[in-house]
Chain A
């Protein structure tokens, strides 16, 4: 839903970032307003996950230029945990396993960290059990996953559902979902998509990183961006995604060459 007067949640301006002194992001510009859904597409290695990790504050990525404002404030000076508490959520492309840490306890601690920032009361173990059971329905996940270690031994699709469960619990303002659709079977894709739709509201926004139209059939984007060589090369409406299905990314090289980027 595009409303030009809606709050500007995320304002990314000429963002540059490196990993191990290798420049990856080379001038990303993106504005996200409340109520909007953005799809980010692009070839493997074009910098999509890098962008998402920079926004979440991964320590391995160094910002070398530009700025990111979240609801008017500088996002880049905040620790990753502060960003999360303020409502920035990253659904990982590859969620890591954390042996020995109970999923339930992990979810409770993170939910309470977010709630505290929002001025809501802390949920004790019992209240949280009820709360999490409610949210499990959003992703149709078996409560048995709560008793396991975080992501340990979860299948690829189960990990992705666990990410959306976290999203449901943290009630983020801006959600960046990095290839949440990859590795999901057809039913799971529908469940996850319906979960994301249920959690969307006029006050929040999502950035969906994806390679496939299939997700965008379920979640209709307001904007589609194509990333290449660490920048957003082209932006369009939902029809751009359909066009990409047809033409692929060959035009990207021509356009980069025309702009003098090799």
Chain B
């Protein structure tokens, strides 16, 4: 290629790779029933929660780690992980002024200012540092509307009835290996409750930051939208660069009652490891939403750019009649990253509808698989699904696979699947360049064109961000 072929350009360094020096309260490595009890005790949890954890743990012991995904990684030593670490700032502070300035500074550096003066005007943020929530903005304003937005631990204290009613009802504690592990040891996360008829007045957002090198991250998120309620929620994630792998096994549960709507967006930018595949996060996440009520709607939008390994299938169980599930995904892998991601749309109720739009972009030596299941149960008469899975290859070393599974027990239903694969060619880039468009901009124009259907689904504040993130991740990958 020409003199400044991007082959020669070094990839943009991961700019969130710093570690914050802060004292933490950490328990010893290893996992046992005592550790589970210790976590529950440290958090002064009610008995129902301890029992939930113990049941999950006992079940987990009987399970084998799954190996069906198109992923390759050395065995994880579950005894070599710390299961509880929290910044030493025991009590959650009433005001942000009392939060350790180092933590505020960390989030400032990540572009998530929390202080009164600088915070985003229309987005409420829950900042989670090493699985512990350190601050939530706009709580009072949201409370005026009856909206609860707080850390999971706080919710356990202040709304134990809601937690007891909904926890584990979408993703059971014995659902799968990683969900069982999470149910046993989860430390914190976010809780959202939108009461009947309320349209949440602002975007809600949780920002997850991993800081420790040897700590597993097990967050738990629960969002409940009552009849006619609606909410748009976004999570963002970053982590420092370590040359070891950290396990991140989160569980997200969404519940939508009659006419409720939940829009859940993710911009995942965990540390991906270096160009040789050393280090990076193992992102093994269970996300599921239940459209419990008639005409309810759950929409997942994800932009997955980070992690050494991503293994996640945000799913919708469409129980209520006429309920709607949506999944819009952009998964980008570069260097040695691996992603096996997709969705499950389980049609239970009549006239349920689902849409799947998946865009996989693979560059470098990475591998990127879409795996999706559309299941139409016997009661789902008139159900409809539309799936579109497109892959874009950059360079000739990357791989892309599509595994669509369809199971229908209902003849009166329609499932439509489209798939395509394309490659960014040298001639296309040259064409754009020969019209005065720089190489990097040419790549990012083609990539964002490819992803447009998905980016259009992101909350406006984050769509431009996602575009930039992809461009950044691809820098130096073509040539």
Interface residues, chain A, with chain B CB atoms under 8 Å away? 56-60, 77, 79-81, 83-85, 90, 92, 95-96, 98-102, 105-106, 109-110, 113-114, 117, 149-150, 166, 170
Contact present for B452 and A100 (CB under 8 Å): yes
- Bound together, the chains give a CA A59 to CA B434 distance in angstroms of 11
Residues of A within 8 A of B433 (CB): 57, 79-81, 84
The one of B432, B439, B445, B449 in contact with A79, judged by C-beta atoms closer than 8 angstroms, is B439
- Bound together, the chains give a CA A24 to CA B3 distance in angstroms of 21
Q: Is B450 an interface residue (CB 8 A)?
A: yes
Name B447's closest neighbour in chain A (CB-CB): A100
Q: How far is the CB of A255 from chain B (nearest CB, A)?
A: 33
Q: Is the interface of B mostly helix, strand, loop or mixed?
A: helix
Q: Is B446 an interface residue (CB 8 A)?
A: yes
Contact present for B449 and A59 (CB under 8 Å): no
Residues of A within 8 A of B439 (CB): 79, 81
Q: How far is the CB of A95 from chain B (nearest CB, A)?
A: 7
Contact present for B436 and A102 (CB under 8 Å): no
**A106-B432 contact in complex given A99-B449, A100-B450, A101-B446, C-beta closer than 8 Å:** yes
**A98-B434 contact in complex given A59-B2, A59-B5, A109-B441, C-beta closer than 8 Å:** no
- Bound together, the chains give a CA A188 to CA B9 distance in angstroms of 44
- Bound together, the chains give a CA A114 to CA B436 distance in angstroms of 7
Number of A-B residue pairs at CB separation under 8 A: 85
Residues of A within 8 A of B449 (CB): 98-102, 149
Q: Is B438 an interface residue (CB 8 A)?
A: yes
- Bound together, the chains give a CA A114 to CA B434 distance in angstroms of 11
Q: How far is the CB of B457 from chain A (nearest CB, A)?
A: 16
Interface residues, chain B, with chain A CB atoms under 8 Å away? 1-5, 422, 425-428, 430-439, 441, 445-446, 448-450, 452
Name A97's closest neighbour in chain B (CB-CB): B428
Residues of A within 8 A of B427 (CB): 96
Q: Knowing that A79-B438, A100-B446 are A-B contacts, what are 19 other residue pairs whose CB atoms are under 8 Å apart, sorted by A's residue number? A: A56-B430, A57-B434, A58-B430, A77-B3, A80-B2, A81-B438, A83-B434, A84-B435, A84-B436, A85-B436, A90-B434, A96-B428, A98-B432, A99-B449, A101-B445, A102-B449, A109-B437, A113-B436, A166-B435
- Bound together, the chains give a CA A40 to CA B422 distance in angstroms of 35
Residues of A within 8 A of B431 (CB): 92, 95-96, 98, 150
- Bound together, the chains give a CA A244 to CA B103 distance in angstroms of 79
- Bound together, the chains give a CA A80 to CA B432 distance in angstroms of 9
Q: How far is the CB of A161 from chain B (nearest CB, A)?
A: 16
Residues of B within 8 A of A113 (CB): 435-437
- Sample of 14 A–B contacts (CB below 8 Å): A60-B426, A79-B2, A79-B439, A81-B434, A84-B434, A90-B434, A99-B422, A100-B446, A100-B448, A100-B452, A101-B445, A106-B437, A110-B435, A110-B436
Contact present for A80 and B430 (CB under 8 Å): yes
Q: How far is the CB of B330 from chain A (nearest CB, A)?
A: 13
- Bound together, the chains give a CA A149 to CA B450 distance in angstroms of 11
- Bound together, the chains give a CA A23 to CA B61 distance in angstroms of 67
Name A83's closest neighbour in chain B (CB-CB): B434
Residues of B within 8 A of A84 (CB): 433-436
Contact present for B2 and A57 (CB under 8 Å): yes
Q: How far is the CB of B450 from chain A (nearest CB, A)?
A: 5
- Bound together, the chains give a CA A55 to CA B421 distance in angstroms of 32
Name A101's closest neighbour in chain B (CB-CB): B449
- Bound together, the chains give a CA A59 to CA B445 distance in angstroms of 19
